[in-house]
A and B are shown apart, each in its own frame.
Chain A
Amino acid sequence: MLKHIEKLTPAEEALLSAAETLLEATPQRRRAAETLRERGLPSRKVEAWHYTDLRTRLKEFAGLADTADDGQAWIEADRGLVEAARLPVINGRLRASLADDMPQGVTLKSFEGEGGFADAADAVAMLNTLIGRGGVDMGVAAGARVEKPVELLHGTISAGASAIRHKVAMGEGASATIVERHESADGLAVQSNAVVDLEIADDARLLWVIVQTEGDAATHLAQLNVNLGARAKLTVLVLNAGGALVRREINVDVTGEDADLQIRGVNLIGGETHLDVTTVLLHDVPGSVSTELFRNVATAHGAGIFQGQIRVAQIAQKTDARMACNTLLLSDEAEFSAKPELEIFADDVQCAHGATVADIEDDHLFYLMARGIPQKQARAMLVQAFVEEAFEEVEDEALRDALNARIENWLDRHG
């Protein structure tokens, strides 16, 4: 018997009241409200949230963000990551009228409603279902080779909470690059929530790029749910370089044989940031490959978490799954926790994981200094080199440079 909570927190009360008074009571939303009322937000007693006690950390609910401003000025001022067809989302509302023309092969519909959630531990999706109001339903036609990146640009331009959910479907044999960006200004009390449900059909190739540079007062809860088809290739690049409280979940269900999943991430954690990256990879069929590599830098009072779960089903023979998480701690108060979890039910598989935490190497530092490079600059070069290795396989030079420029910018401000 599941234990019900005895008393709601002020944040939980406010969430429920906002959902009930402001939003239509759809069946999904009713279920989310019921679940929240009975179980509350997950505390550290819930295993998946052990390192991020959301119940304690989400002290208040900021109320729904104002959506009167369509954000046109903000969108025009945005400098972009790379040349892309932008699809703006401002304060949680899709602004299709301000979108660029989509490349050929990409179709957009607006998606109304809520996407649902698994259970109380699936809190990101539960909150999204509770206060979210749809998003975009994007399709990439079978066989389409879309060269120009499409960017889902999420800007939160005023304080308050917002949630959006997108559905993206890659047709058979299609290829594309899609950027998912989240931005807000420092000092703004933002609570942003974004869920993407991604279906990748057989033989498709997708590069999915997540860039999160929320402000230093932002709570950002995000989830990417993927279904990966046969012989399909998905590369996910993640750059987390902002936010006060961040939970980024990546859930991939490898359901097609010989699929290839590559995840490369950089987590830059400074100030008072608490940043949690949780990935769950399910290998359900034989012959698929997955590689996850995260490079993290924690400084000041930053706290980082990586939870990496890989489950290999009994029939998923010849799976090759590898995971690595390397962290540089640049201050005595910074911390990082890595929790690999491998559950392997097949007997003919290759699975490996490794986690390291260190400072930069003295002999590297000495070498650079012996060539005349001052210590501060030498350290910065080595830190940058360490994190940028995560993106060294990115073939698109403009994209790699843009990601590295954001890393450099963060290190300049926090180094």
Chain B
Amino acid sequence: MIEIRNLHVRIADEGIEIIKGLNLSVADGEVAAIMGPNGSGKSTLSYALAGRDGYEVTDGEVLFNGVNLLELEPDERAAAGLFLAFQYPVEIPGVATMNFLKAAMNAQRKARGEKEYSTPDFIRTVREAAGHLGISMDMLKRPLNAGFSGGEKKRAEILQMALLEPKLCIMDETDSGLDIDALKVVADGVNAMRGPNRSFVVITHYQRLLEYIVPDTVHVLYKGRIIQSGDKDLALHLEKHGYADIIGQAA
């Protein structure tokens, strides 16, 4: 699905290198968890993959289903099947959520040469997906994320993910700010989407989320590199012993 080789990323404004030679390969259908302490480069990695301005790739390559991801604009990456679930989804007053969803879904379909949704088909699709996530149509009439609670924002991200049907979902600390009920809703949404042709990169600080979204592989990110990889037991080890001993071993 995605092959990241020797990736170096610098935050342009500050001129500081955050990702320093990262290698990661995620197979079709795989759920890979990336764990790491604060400041290890988790969010920088997700922004760099999604193509945010100011996150400058200085070396390395990223192949997404054989395509050089780094040459694409953010919207082209999305149309190619990459989805970033934001840690802090922005509030955009004035843009109605339904209009935004329709614009996004149709833009991606158009980019892929598919037929755009008719309004009735679009509404039916959204209504069904929202129902599974306990999102009311009233909430979708409001401006995008505006006044949504933390849990509502994360559920709205999962709704977008479900509607856009991406191939690779990067989930940036989706568990932050969620209570246990909201966490379960989000995890159920993710688990329902798992399949042989869809992969996930679940970025998290805590093991808690991984109790609900059980990963195939776990990778420890520290100072911009993957310093250890393993299966789900690695997450349990980290939960018990913290990052210190693994960081110690790597050093």
Contact = CB atoms under 8 A, between A and B. Distances in A.
A381 B73 contact: no
B104 A372 contact: yes
A367 B103 contact: no
Interface size class of A (residues with CB under 8 A): 20 to 34
Interface stretch (B92-100, B186-194, B215-223, B232-240): B92-100
Contact of B75 (A372, A382, A392): A372
Q: DSSP majority for the A interface?
A: helix
Given A362-B53, A373-B75, A389 B104 contact: no
Given A372-B164, A373-B75, A367 B107 contact: no
B86 interface: yes
A369 B94 contact: no
B84 A389 contact: no
A300 to B, nearest CB: 23
Interface in A367-386: 367-375, 377-378, 381-382, 384-386
A385 B104 contact: no
Interface in B53-87: 53-54, 73-75, 77-79, 84, 86
Nearest to A371: B104
Given A370-B50, A370-B74, A363 B90 contact: yes
A189 to B, nearest CB: 37
B78 A372 contact: yes
A364 interface: yes
A367 B145 CA distance: 11
A389 B93 contact: yes
A345 interface: no
A369 B73 CA distance: 8
B160 interface: yes
Interface residues of B, number: 30
Contacts of B104: 368, 371-373
Nearest to A365: B53
A294 to B, nearest CB: 15
A318 B99 CA distance: 41
A12 interface: no
A328 to B, nearest CB: 12
A378 B92 CA distance: 12
Contact of B94 (A372, A378, A385): A385
B86 A369 contact: no
A366 interface: yes
Given A372-B164, A374-B107, A382 B95 contact: yes
Given A362-B53, A366-B52, A366-B74, A373 B103 contact: yes
B89 A367 contact: yes
Contact of B160 (A364, A371, A381): A371
A367 B78 CA distance: 11
Contact of A375 (B73, B86, B90, B92): B73
B57 to A, nearest CB: 16
Given A371-B100, A374-B73, 4 more contacts: A363-B90, A372-B75, A381-B95, A385-B143
Interface of A: 361-364, 366-375, 377-378, 381-382, 384-386, 388-389, 392
